[in-house]
Homo-oligomer: A and B are copies of this chain.
């Protein structure tokens, strides 16, 4: 529900060509995922490694309760994208949407109006809220929703506990707002003074999360936001340590000093990290990150002393279409196997 981008229309390739790309039978890949960028990267992973067992640990820090309904934007973006229900034009939300519910809510004067929810999407939130109210944890609710979507991966929320990313902004005076309010309503235009994952400290990983990391052949970081997506997932106690014990390969979300998508620069500024492929990898650090894919225009990163201990590979990183995305995923997998 956030960024604008050039329309990106594709679907996962099938058949013998994809299957020949690597021998992935029995391979276990665990991916930490934000929203749109991660969902597209995951299509590439499924294409490059169609027989692998892929577990996706989804960020829930962006989750928000709107109109009494629990909305999980990142989990839904992954579920809809891999399940074939995504709006390809937007990258988030459902295809062929109508807006009867939100139009009526606006007519009632009920807010907020800045978060777009279509009717088809509302159904997911209604059902999720009903299941949560019945006492089911989010991980179980996500499993039930995925029974319909069959995303072809095991999708786990990072935690069953409520964690919400809040942003301290300087907007004619300091105020603490929900991440979505800063990101969607304010388009991250107000400078973020601090970004915190409320509730993370006392949270626990969802069932299966630590096991999925420990049992994986390797862990991948898609080109998701290093602060409010990957960073939030890593803030759940236990996840960072579990990942650090494995081979981790990441894909830079920064190309040529700018985010490929979204407003990661605004988030990086809040934590004092430069908007560069090198700075993001250095922020993760060699204790966590073993391999790092950068775009060809950032290839000097390979020689940057700040990335000592991290294997850097340069290749075209724009996920433009099926083949390009599969090639990026393939490169991440290849590097991970090499390093594992």
Contact surface of A with B, Cβ cutoff 8 Å: 67-69, 97-98, 100-105, 107-110, 118-120, 122-124, 126-127, 129-130, 133, 145, 148
Contact = CB atoms under 8 A, between A and B. Distances in A.
Contacts of A130: 67-68, 110
8 contacts: A67-B126, A68-B126, A97-B100, A98-B98, A100-B100, A104-B120, A110-B127, A110-B130
Contact of A105 (B102, B103, B108, B123): B123
Contacts of A68: 126, 129-130, 133
Contacts of A123: 100-105, 107-108
3 closest Cβ contacts across the A-B interface?
A: A100-B119, A104-B123, A68-B130
B118 A100 contact: yes
Nearest to A106: B123
Given A108-B145, A108-B148, A148-B108, A127 B67 contact: yes
A120 B100 contact: yes
A294 B174 CA distance: 69
A66 to B, nearest CB: 9
Majority secondary structure of chain A interface residues (helix, strand, loop or mixed): helix
Contacts of A124: 104, 108
B148 A109 contact: yes
A75 to B, nearest CB: 15
A101 B129 contact: no
A136 to B, nearest CB: 12
Given A104-B120, A109-B148, 14 more contacts: A97-B100, A98-B119, A100-B101, A100-B118, A100-B119, A101-B120, A103-B120, A104-B122, A104-B123, A104-B124, A107-B148, A108-B145, A110-B127, A122-B126
Contact of A126 (B98, B101, B127): B101
Contacts of A127: 67, 105, 108, 110
A104 B119 contact: yes
Contacts of A98: 98, 100, 119
A102 B118 CA distance: 13
A130 B109 CA distance: 14
A122 B102 CA distance: 10
A105 B119 contact: no
Contacts of A69: 126
Chain B CB within 10 Å, residue with most, of A69, A101, A103, A118:
A101
Contacts of A109: 148
Contacts of A105: 123, 126-127
Contacts of A126: 67-69, 101, 105, 122, 126
A127 to B, nearest CB: 5
A221 to B, nearest CB: 31
Chain B CB within 10 Å, residue with most, of A107, A108, A109:
A108
Contacts of A103: 120, 123
A148 B21 CA distance: 60
A103 B107 CA distance: 23
A119 to B, nearest CB: 3
A107 B145 CA distance: 10
